[in-house]
Amino acid sequence: MSKRQEFEAAAATRILIKDGPYGTEIQRAKLAAGDYAGDTGLKDDQKGNNDLVNLTQPQVIRKICDSYIDAGAHILATNTFNANRISQADYGAEHLVHEINVSAAKIIREAIDEATAKDGVPRFVAGAMGPTNKTLSLSPNVEDPGFREVSFDEIVEVYVEQARGLIEGGADFILIETVFDTLNCKAAVMAVKQLERELGQDIPLMISLTLTDLSGRNLSGHTVEAFWHTVRHAKPLTMGLNCSFGAEQLRPHVQILSDIADCYLMAYPNAGLPNDLGEYDELPETTAALTRVWADNGRINALGGCCGSTPAHIAAMAKKVEGVAPRALPTVDQHMRLAGLEPFTIAA
């Protein structure tokens, strides 16, 4: 049975639980700058380079991973949000990108395989690819709207390199997450499809959009429905939303997506909205109660946490939706569906 089929079988029986973020948990480990750098020989200050920790302090990542498994997570995403050549250039660590991704996937692969060998519960490794710190849809120069710091082809190459490392390390799926720029996401999709052809294997895609305002648009201006129209051709295993807001604010957008996406829906909101200090105060029980509403209304197939979430939040959500039937995939009428910033459907 392929990993895609294993996921489909598991998703048919329960609402699957995704893990939470790694950044907060890494901060709790109180690593010094030297701990981040390890024996890499990097000259720049590496403090805050959470992706590098996969290489230099793998035991820290493994401990976090185990805490999410203990909390009930079935889908564990690699700690590789910025493990790409563009983002790592800020730390002078571009040459370590492949190693970082391989190591990140291996850590989680070993952890979930050990856990599943003990209890028989299916678990999956999602190789996470963040949006990079460049945008293809918008110019960083207000005086030159046509200017771009990178090209589409360059972004594709960056993502091919990252995805290759994640698959080599043992990732089951590639998760294109926190998509603020639709064109960046399209480049990531193309990269994975190129890698599929290169390796001669199926690489299931997970795609997760992030919204920048309550009207329901990402930074490049696409509505949830328009974004879905632009990526549906990739036939993702899951489509969903993450970050941006807490569960209460994300609810109407999850509802829209649930009605139109004929694939599994995975959402992982922040633990509420940040306070004046940028910290998250929402308690695990509150997050769990809010996301239980999604489950009760048949809106969700996989559920996890983003910024501010902890293993305690994941455990509370897992307990709250235990035994609740997963969302049934909708049957969508066949029409030509196009999109600018708004969706456009040509119906007979």
Instruction: Output the pLDDT for position 47.
Output: 94
**Could you report how far apart the first and last alpha carbons of the chain are, in Å?**
39
pTM of the model: 0.96
Question: What pLDDT, on the 0 to 100 scale, is given for residue 277?
Answer: 87
Write the burial class of residue 138 (CB in 10 Å: 0-12 exposed, 13-18 middle, 19+ buried). Answer: middle
With vertex at residue 20, the alpha carbon angle to CA 15 and CA 22, rounded to the nearest 5 degrees, is 155
For residue 345, the one-letter residue type is T
CA-CA distance, 194 to 202, in Å (whole number)? Answer: 11
232 alpha-carbon distance from chain centroid = 17
Residue 64, number of CB atoms within 10 A of its CB: 27
Question: CB atoms < 10 A from the CB of 110, how many?
Answer: 15
| Model pLDDT, residue 348 | 64
* Residues of the chain scoring pLDDT < 50: none
Distances (CA, A) of 268 to 29, 42, 124, 313: 24, 34, 16, 11
Contact 105, 127 (CB under 8 A): yes
Backbone torsion region of residue 323, taken as left when φ is above 0, otherwise alpha when ψ lies between -120 and 50, otherwise beta: left
